[in-house]
Structure 1
Amino acid sequence: MAAFVLDKRGSPLMPCSEKRARLLLKRGRARVHRVLPFVIRLTDRLAEESAFQSLRVKVDPGSKVTGVALVREFNSGIAVLNLFSLMHRGRQISEALVTRRNFRHRRRSANLRYRAPRFLNRARRDAWLAPSLQHRVDTTMSWVRRIKRWTPISATSVEFERYDLQAMRSAEVAGYEHRKYERVDYEIREYLLKKWWHRCAYCDKEGVPLHVGHIISRARGGSDHLTNLTICCGPCHFRKGERDIKEFVVDGIRCNRILGRAKVPLKESASVSSTRAALVTELRSARLVVETSTGGRTKWNRARFGIPKTYALDAVCVGDVSVVMDWQRPTVEVKCSGRGSYQRTRLTAEGFPRSYLIRKKRIYGFQTGDRVRADVSKGKMIGIYVGRVAVRASGNFNIKTQNGVVQGINHRYCKVVQRADGYGYSPLLRLAQRVTRSKSVGPAL
């Protein structure tokens, strides 16, 4: 993967390869600025003395995981530099809010001092989002700003709508089988697959090749409008042919359900998601050129280039893409872990306290989530351990390494490599792992 590079004043430069970053560190021309993601700072160069190329950040928003890709643009296409999968914790936030609400209701209903409800004096802005949804926008924007701080990007591409409804409407004029653009087929097919739950509308078969068919055949005056199209398996498509649906589907309940479902629009594709709209607004406020695209076009690009489906590679295929190079790169999984909890007790399933947490977040200068290196020189735990630390009031910490959790490491053997930033990283970057385990290079600045 590419290593991020800063000049001696902290301004972003063009990323470099792992080999070049290792040589710069070995020759003393650079210092380690950050371990994960790996960022170096040059000691002998300014941004004014460097040449820049066109860089773009591509984002594929998701409900649980958002794909982020940093690419370099050239005349005939793009070259992939870095891939990230940002795993959100919206579900945890939602469950925590429900728990807090239950505690609040209990305090009001119990024989305690009366507390007036605070929601009566709270005002919400017009573009308000639920905390679990706002978290998705905030974390995605946080990583876009981080990449902007480490690289000279000037543009972004984001999947704004799931389907291009305008393209589907314009395509029906020329007829379903006489379209000029292959991408429109993907828009319509993805729309119908989502609408009919990826199964045959007539026999409910799943996991078989599905075809796009007409509910009212063209021979009987049916149109190519989306309300007249459905998804069906090959045998059902062949048996139906030009027959009327009421003749083919004998069961009246199923027939009415198919006709009713055909007229119901898919809400997710008919309107723009509030989360994606908020994300695009935030990107534009960051003074970046924003290119919006659709999910159907993303799949069309992925199928053209033979790229497997992952969250990060979906981000690579967002927008107008002609050629994709160097996409066979490892993906850094970034998990939102939060910055701790205000709750001072752990509860049982019945709501009773079972343990109490320490009041201070830092113990002997360490905090849960810090990345540390422990050089244990004596005792049963002799060795070198690098990973995420969980602090204890006793001073004996737990370190989560690649091979598992190591318990009972005294704080005297630990040294901070990188402070906790609210995220967990996996897998480790190869160069960052070498630098962390090497004694010749000091800790991050």
Structure 2
Amino acid sequence: MAVFVLDRQKKPLMPCSEKRARRLLERGRAVVVKRYPFAIRLKDRVGGELQPIRVKLDPGSKQTGVAIVRESKNIDTETGEITRKINILSLLHLHHRGLAISANLTSRRAMRKRRRNNLRYREARFDNRTKPTGWLAPSLQHRVDTAISWIKKLQRVAPVTALSQELVRFDLQQLESPEISGIEYQQGELQGYEVRKYLLDKWDRKCAYCGVEQVPLEIEHIVPKSAGGSHQVSNLTLACIPCNQKKGSQALDIFLAKQPQLLQKIKAQAQQPLKDAAAVNSTRWALANALKTTGNPVELASGGRTQFNRIRLDIPKSHALDAACVGIVDTVQDWNKPTLEIKCTGRGSYQRTRLDKFGFPRGYLMRSKSAFGFQTGDMVKAVVTKGKKVGEYVGRVAIRASGSFNITTLIETIQGISHKYCQMISRNDGYGYSLQPKIAN
């Protein structure tokens, strides 16, 4: 992975390789200023030559892929054709906590309702509340805020000159009414990619009739075209080649007459929209408008084009690599890199008590969030020199007011480590980090 570099005045320079960063640190010419993403600051340099760096986003309902790339454009002197070459510097996977936020709000709502209705009267307030224009549910607004927060983090350590976003994973209106789509989707190179990508996600990449996976799948009309079936996505499913040939032009009720449960399941799933697509479509313009406020030009592209680029360039499927393929891309280099997994964990809770099943306090927590200079979630290194727990431990710390901490490493949790043995590595910033190795050749 590329290492981000700052000059002596903390202005971003071009990222360098891990080997070069290691040499700069060994020779005392640089110091570490940030561990996630890893960044160093030079002691003896101000300013330098910069190249265009673009940050690309592939928003999802549960994850957002981020690719930091260096782009260059080559112009053919004879034809005037422009070729855009992408060199990947770093890949990130941002794991959202929208489901956790939704669950917490549901729990809080239930407890408040219990206290309001059964214990004391409280006048209803819903008539007095108004939502501003463009309001999003907290679980959806979290996706936008987290993505923008990481864009700003990257702008502080890299000379970002442009942004790219997959504006819409699936244009549901376009899929339902193909006649309104542009010529590029009707007759161009992207023909069929939007519909097929939507069906693969909706039907879990398996045959709707036999459930087989990891085989070639064909687009199947639930109501056959010979019987007046339409091309709308609500009438389409996926089937393996044997099932598709076996069904032929039969009606679904006849083909699955001996499997009534599967028949009802397919009919219900066909009419049900893809939930992930609805979540992404709800936040797409909010994210796009937020990106425009960063001051960098924003490129918007379709999910069909992303899949087309990835398949054409023979790149494996992942959110981060999908992000690298967003927009107009001709070639992609150095895509086989480790990926930094970033999990949104939050910064703790304001709740100072534990609650019973009725929503009443059953125990009290320590009043301060910090103890002896540490907070729960900080990354620490503990070197224990005596006692039963002699050894070196690196992991996340859980604090106690007594000063006896717990440290969670990659393989175990060590309890009862004194704060005197702990040394700070990085403060808790609301995220958990891990490194996913590159794909084996």
TM-score band by shorter chain is: 0.7 to 0.9
Q: Give CA-to-partner distance per residue, 1:15-71, whole Å, 9 cap, x none.
A: 111111111112222111112221111112222xx0111111111111111111111
Instruction: Please state how far the C-alpha of 1:190 moved relative to its aligned partner.
Output: 2.1
Match of 2:343 among 335, 342, 363: 335
Is residue 52 of structure 1 aligned with residue 54 of structure 2? no
Aligned twin of 1:136:
143
Instruction: Please state how far the C-alpha of 1:294 moved relative to its aligned partner.
Output: 2.1
Q: Matches of 2:264 and 2:100 in 1, distance apart?
A: 40
Q: Matches of 1:200 and 1:119 in 2, distance apart?
A: 46
Q: Which amino acid aligns with 1:186?
A: Y
SS in 2 for 1:13: coil
Q: 1:248 to 1:18 in 2, by over 3 A?
A: same
Cα contact 2:9–2:46 (8 A) shared by 1: yes
Aligned twin of 2:355:
347
- The within-5 A match list for 1:188-199 is 188-194=195-201, 198=205
SS in 1 for 2:290: helix
Q: Which amino acid aligns with 1:11?
A: K
Report the TM-score when normalising by structure 1. 0.82
Cα contact 1:172–1:225 (8 A) shared by 2: no
Q: Matches of 1:166 and 1:55 in 2, distance apart?
A: 32
Match of 1:186 among 176, 187, 193: 193
Aligned twin of 1:27:
27
SS in 2 for 1:381: coil
Q: Which amino acid aligns with 2:433?
A: Y
Q: 1:399 to 1:264 in 2, by over 3 A?
A: closer
Instruction: Please state how far the C-alpha of 1:193 moved relative to its aligned partner.
Output: 3.9
Cα contact 1:24–1:30 (8 A) shared by 2: yes
Match of 1:293 among 283, 301, 305: 301
Q: Matches of 2:434 and 2:64 in 1, distance apart?
A: 15
Q: Matches of 2:278 and 2:345 in 1, distance apart?
A: 34
Is residue 424 of structure 1 aligned with residue 422 of structure 2? no
Aligned twin of 1:7:
7
Cα contact 2:32–2:41 (8 A) shared by 1: yes
Q: Matches of 1:90 and 1:223 in 2, distance apart?
A: 36
Q: Matches of 2:344 and 2:99 in 1, distance apart?
A: 12
Is residue 368 of structure 1 aligned with residue 368 of structure 2? no
Cα contact 2:111–2:358 (8 A) shared by 1: no
Match of 1:146 among 150, 153, 175: 153
Aligned twin of 2:79:
none
Instruction: Please state how far the C-alpha of 1:192 moved relative to its aligned partner.
Output: 3.9
Q: Matches of 1:126 and 1:341 in 2, distance apart?
A: 29
Q: Which amino acid aligns with 1:209?
A: P
Aligned twin of 2:331:
323
RMSD: 3.6
Q: Which amino acid aligns with 1:234?
A: I
Aligned twin of 1:64:
62
Is residue 390 of structure 1 aligned with residue 390 of structure 2? no
Cα contact 1:172–1:224 (8 A) shared by 2: no
Q: Matches of 2:165 and 2:297 in 1, distance apart?
A: 11
Report the TM-score when normalising by structure 2. 0.83
Unmatched 5+ residue regions in structure 2? 74-83
Q: Matches of 1:91 and 1:356 in 2, distance apart?
A: 27
Aligned twin of 1:437:
none
Q: Matches of 2:205 and 2:424 in 1, distance apart?
A: 50
Cα contact 1:249–1:255 (8 A) shared by 2: no
Q: Which amino acid aligns with 1:136?
A: R
Instruction: Please state how far the C-alpha of 1:391 moved relative to its aligned partner.
Output: 0.6
Aligned twin of 1:127:
134
Q: Which amino acid aligns with 2:95?
A: M
Q: Matches of 2:255 and 2:386 in 1, distance apart?
A: 78
Instruction: Please state how far the C-alpha of 1:409 moved relative to its aligned partner.
Output: 1.3
Q: Which amino acid aligns with 2:353?
A: T
Instruction: Please state how far the C-alpha of 1:166 moved relative to its aligned partner.
Output: 5.8
Aligned twin of 2:284:
276
Cα contact 1:245–1:255 (8 A) shared by 2: no
Q: Matches of 2:273 and 2:342 in 1, distance apart?
A: 35
Q: Kindly, what percent of the aligned residue pairs are identical?
A: 52
SS in 2 for 1:291: strand
Aligned twin of 1:440:
none
Instruction: Please state how far the C-alpha of 1:132 moved relative to its aligned partner.
Output: 0.9
Instruction: Please state how far the C-alpha of 1:96 moved relative to its aligned partner.
Output: 1.3
Instruction: Please state how far the C-alpha of 1:367 moved relative to its aligned partner.
Output: 0.8
Q: Give CA-to-partner distance per residue, 1:184-216, whole Å, 9 cap, x none.
A: 232232234456665556x45443532235678
Q: Matches of 2:386 and 2:203 in 1, distance apart?
A: 64
- The within-5 A match list for 1:84-95 is 84-95=92-103
SS in 1 for 2:289: helix
Instruction: Please state how far the C-alpha of 1:342 moved relative to its aligned partner.
Output: 1.1
Is residue 302 of structure 1 aligned with residue 300 of structure 2? no
Q: Which amino acid aligns with 2:39?
A: V
Q: Give CA-to-partner distance per residue, 1:142-189, whole Å, 9 cap, x none.
A: 111100111011211111112367699479999x9xx76443232232
SS in 2 for 1:387: strand
Is residue 233 of structure 1 aligned with residue 240 of structure 2? yes
Q: Give CA-to-partner distance per residue, 1:305-328, whole Å, 9 cap, x none.
A: 222222222222222221111111
Q: Give CA-to-partner distance per residue, 1:88-112, whole Å, 9 cap, x none.
A: 1111111211221122222222444
Q: Matches of 1:352 and 1:260 in 2, distance apart?
A: 41
Q: 1:237 to 1:146 in 2, by over 3 A?
A: same
Q: Give CA-to-partner distance per residue, 1:273-310, whole Å, 9 cap, x none.
A: 12122111100111121112222222222222222222
Cα contact 2:338–2:436 (8 A) shared by 1: no
SS in 2 for 1:124: coil
SS in 2 for 1:14: coil
SS in 2 for 1:399: strand
Q: Matches of 1:172 and 1:351 in 2, distance apart?
A: 52
Q: 1:119 to 1:216 in 2, by over 3 A?
A: closer
**Count, aligned residues:** 421
